[in-house]
Structure 1
Amino acid sequence: MRRRNHASAWAKSFERGFAAITRQTLRVGTRAVGEALRPAIDKHKPPPGSGSWIHGVALGAAGARRFRLYRPPHVRIGERLPLMVMLHGCGQDAKSFAMSTRMNRIAARERFLVLYPEQDRVANAQGCWNWFDTASGRAYGEAALIMKAIDQVCLLYPADRARVAVAGLSAGASMAALLVTRHPERFKAVVMHSGIPPGTAHSPLSALGAMQGHRATRPLMTTAASMITSWPPLMVIHGGEDTVVSAHNGHAAAQVWADAAGALASVRRSVQRGNRYPMTVTDFKRKGSTVAKLVEVGQLGHAWSGGAARRPFSDHQGPDASRMAWAFAARQFGV
């Protein structure tokens, strides 16, 4: 009897120990699964703030690309809003770019839509738009997919097709310029932040030389007359301490735009707002109209000027590029 009681007590002790181990394993496993899934869960959460964060997919001959659309709150029935297209840089996606630039906050206040096309990591492992790969046609295929996303948004959401602007950072800036050279009539303004002008590279190898400022930019394939009537004005923002994309490219982008229109540079002026980095602004004008604007921020590196603090590719000390981009586009929209 004593042996049987001892065996029973041992069995119960074993069961309690096994149950405790099982519970601990489940807790650890649940935490591990949660940690593993957190990036994917966070990626699908909307950025903080009011308004709607809408998921979409654009389909075309070159495949498919996801996009996100920010819609400000309280859009009235029948209301048509301007559309700002934002193209992220390498190492970013739609959400991280939205949070870094904080463009949604401006859109909520000023009432416009923001479209964030997103590069697929299968198409480029670093998440870069392949703006440079014109020799193979891959750049044009991606540009066509971005245009598909714009068309889809204009069809399904309250976007005003006549008031569309595009802005981008780094590879996104170069893709923005490529979009405009292929569809100038579709855009009212283009903003290049730390990018390379079109006609400077045609392959991955030539892109590296262009980033270092070692390649010349070809003239734009247009006439002065068409430049004035159908090409949107350009704003260029570039940091003087950019070690990824040489500031030479900022000068080249503004100059090639100006040369195509026969515009001349005005006197450079220095501007500083509060404790932000100072900037030097040069307008290129033809008959009183601004064709291109060059904003040089001497202390800025390869980062979105005035972006959110403690985020990659963002420098909160710079002048606010998002506000400058919207103000530049709004003037063309007549807002």
Structure 2
Amino acid sequence: MKRRTRKSAWAKSLERSLVAFTRGAVKSGARALGQAMKPALARRAPPAGEGAWILGIASGMAGARRFRLYRPPGVAAGERLPLMVMLHGCGQDANTFARSTRMNRVALREHFMVLYPEQDRLANAQGCWNWFDSTAGRAGGEAALIMKMIDQVCLLHSADPTRVAIAGLSAGASMAALLATRHPARFRAVVMHSGVPPGTAHSTLSALGAMHGRRATKPLEATPLEVESGWPPLLVIHGDADRVVALQNAHAAAQQWAEGLGARARPPRSVQRGQRHAMTVTDFRCAGRLVSRLVLVRGLAHAWSGGAAQLPYSDPLGPDASRMAWAFAAAQFRG
């Protein structure tokens, strides 16, 4: 009887030890999983600030793509707001691009909406827009999906279809320019930040050559009727320390727009705001109308100028590209 009691006590002690060990292991595993998930959760967290952060989806022949829409507070019933479309670069998504560019803060202050289309990793493993793939048709398919997103936002969320501008970084910049050349009547302004001009590549291999400045840019295909009805002016922003997309692409894009619309370059001017990187600004005008503007930022690498600190492809020391993009678009909306 005594032996059975001793055995039972030993078994209970062992059971308590196993339970304690299991609980400790589960807690330790949960802590480790929580630490591992932190970066992913941070990427998916909505940008800080007032306003609505709305999830949407558009589908078409090229599949489906998600998007995020920033809608500032205080939109009156029946009010239609301007829309800025923001296309992220490779290695980014809608959330990280919004946090990096801080365009929502500008939208809150200036009272406009921001649409952030998001590339699917199944369509491109690096998250790049396939702006170059005209041969296989992926470029056209993705452009059509982005146009569907714009239509959806104008229909369901009170965006003004007559006041739409589009901007992008890197692959997003090239896709933005492609959309503007395919649908010039739908956009009032286009902003290319560190991108390759349209018509410079048609496949993955040619895109790599174009990024390094080893391919010629085709002339802009603008009909006289399109020019007369209001071809969207172009703002090009590029860093002179960019080692991913060659600086030649910035010159080629601004020149492509200028030559296609019969504009000539005005004398460049140097601008520096506080301690931020200096920039050289060149305007191309035709009959007093601004056709394209080239902004070369000294010391800027392949990153959003004036973006949030400690985020990839974001340089807080550069002049604020988000404010420049909005000011450029707003001038066209007023005009």
- Same fold? TM cut 0.5: yes
Match of 2:309 in 1: 309
Aligned to 1:20: 20
Shift of 1:40: 5.0
Q: Is the 8 A contact 2:185 2:226 kept in 1?
A: no
Partner of 2:47: 47
1:291–1:169 distance in 2 versus 1, CA, 3 Å: same
The yes-or-no answer on 1:239 pairing with 2:250 is no
After superposition, residues 143-158 of structure 1 pair within 5 angstroms as: 143-158=143-158
Are 2:258 and 2:291, in contact at CA under 8 Å, matched by a contact in 1? yes
Question: How much has 1:60 moved relative to structure 2?
Answer: 0.8
Residue in structure 2 matched with residue 250 of structure 1 by the alignment: 250
Unaligned runs of 5+ in 1: none
Give the aligned CA root-mean-square deviation in angstroms.
1.4
Amino acid corresponding to residue 139 of structure 1 in structure 2: A
Partner of 2:179: 179
Taking structure 2 as the reference length, the TM-score comes to 0.97
Alpha-carbon distance, 1:237 to partner: 0.2
Asked if residue 104 in structure 1 is aligned to residue 101 in structure 2, the reply is no
Question: Superposed, which structure 2 residues align to 1:69-218 within 5 Å?
Answer: 69-218=69-218
Native 8 Å contact 2:52 2:70 kept in 1:
yes
Cα distance in 2, alignment partners of residues 208 and 323 from structure 1: 30
Contact 1:227 1:260 in 2 (8 A): no
**2:277 match: secondary structure:** coil
Distance 2:236 2:287 in 1: 20
Q: Distance in 1 between matches of 2:298 and 2:42?
A: 35
2-structure distance, mates of 1:41, 1:258: 44
Structure 1 window deviating more from structure 2 (30-39 vs 8-17): it is 30-39
My pick for the range that moved more, 44-53 or 294-303, is 44-53
Unmatched segments (≥5 aa) in structure 2: none
CA contact (8 A) 2:46 2:95 kept: yes
Q: Post-superposition shift, 1:225?
A: 5.2
Cα offset, 1:46, TM superposition: 1.2
Distance 1:334 1:201 in 2: 34
CA–CA separation in structure 1 for the residues paired with 2:193 and 2:165 = 14
Partners in 2 of 1:73 and 1:26 — Cα distance? 43
Shift of 1:29: 3.3
- After superposition, what is the alpha-carbon deviation per residue over 1:246-281, rounded to whole angstroms, capped at 9, x for unaligned? 010000000010001110000000000000000000
May I ask how many residue pairs the two structures share in their alignment?
A: 335
Deviation at 1:227, TM superposition (A): 2.1
TM-score, normalised to structure 1, is: 0.97
